[in-house]
């Protein structure tokens, strides 16, 4: 059971490092898009897709019209809408293809990626770079999943980093648009 604690500590140390790498200018440009967007679509696959669903839910709690791309109730994307596209590599074919389509429909694209030179970053109006893994951390216990060459390890680290980033972003957006905890709670699911 000691490994459980040690893996969590390694991941948290890495997440702290990742947050320190964030570029404030990139985040400011992205934050300005949200209040102006008529609808916000969240797109991701794998870890990114699962955490993207949490982000879309929290946006809805703030009062935004937010949707997860691929859900059966997702409406059409139109001019004035925004898409948050999440891909660690920035090269995931599903993500880049749907972003190209969103651009043709005059949507704004916000890329969340570890790869600032990727196809996704080049398609995006704003890119926020979330670094996945510090080379200065010895993942002695988490290395059961591999090293930087293995997708399970880097995907898990990127997933945790974007999860924490999205919760920080939700708190910032709540302040920007003037939402109180009471207002946010009023939109929380109540038939569960």
CA–centroid distance for 46 within its chain? 12
Asked whether residue 54 is domain-assigned, the answer is yes
Contacts 24+ apart (CB under 8 A), 66-71: 66/39, 66/40, 66/41, 66/42, 67/39, 67/40, 67/41, 67/42, 68/41, 68/42, 68/43, 69/41, 69/42, 69/43, 69/98, 70/43
Question: Does the residue 21 lie in any domain?
Answer: yes
User: What's the token pair of residue 183?
Assistant: 């207002």
The domain that holds 167 is classified in CATH as 3.40.50.10490
pLDDT tens sequence across 91-147:
999 999 999 999 999 999 999 999 999 999 999 999 999 999 888 888 877 776 656
Domain span at 24: 2-185
What is the distance, to the nearest Å, from the Cα of residue 38 to the centroid of all Cα atoms in its chain? 19
Position 45 in a domain = yes
pLDDT for position 7: 87
Chain segment 139-190, per-residue pLDDT in tens: 877 776 656 565 677 888 999 999 999 999 999 999 999 999 999 999 999 9
Task: With respect to residue 191, please indicate whether it lies within any of the assigned structural domains.
Answer: no
User: What's the chain's Rg over C-alpha atoms?
Assistant: 17
Domain count, the chain: 1
68 close to 56: Cβ distance less than 8 angstroms: yes
What's the pLDDT score for residue 16? 95
114 in a structural domain:
yes
What is the pTM assigned to this prediction? Answer: 0.93
């Amino acid at each position: 059971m000691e490994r459980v604690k040690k893996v969590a500590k390694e991941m948290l140390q890495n997440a702290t490092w990742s947050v320190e790498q964030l570029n404030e200018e990139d985040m400011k440009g992205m934050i300005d898009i949200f209040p102006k967007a008529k609808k916000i679509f969240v797109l991701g696959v794998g870890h990114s897709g699962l955490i993207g669903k949490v982000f879309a839910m929290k946006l809805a709690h703030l009062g935004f019209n937010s949707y997860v791309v691929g859900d059966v109730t997702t409406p059409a994307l139109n001019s004035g809408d925004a898409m948050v596209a999440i891909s660690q590599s920035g090269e995931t074919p599903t993500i880049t293809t749907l972003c190209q389509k969103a651009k043709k429909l005059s949507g704004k694209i916000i890329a969340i990626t570890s790869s600032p030179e990727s196809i996704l970053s080049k398609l995006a109006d704003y890119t926020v770079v979330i670094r996945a893994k510090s080379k200065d951390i010895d993942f002695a216990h988490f290395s059961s999943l591999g090293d930087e060459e293995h997708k399970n390890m880097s995907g898990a680290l990127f997933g945790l980093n974007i999860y924490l980033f999205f919760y920080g972003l939700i708190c910032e957006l709540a302040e920007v648009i003037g939402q109180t905890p009471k207002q946010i709670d009023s939109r929380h699911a109540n038939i569960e």
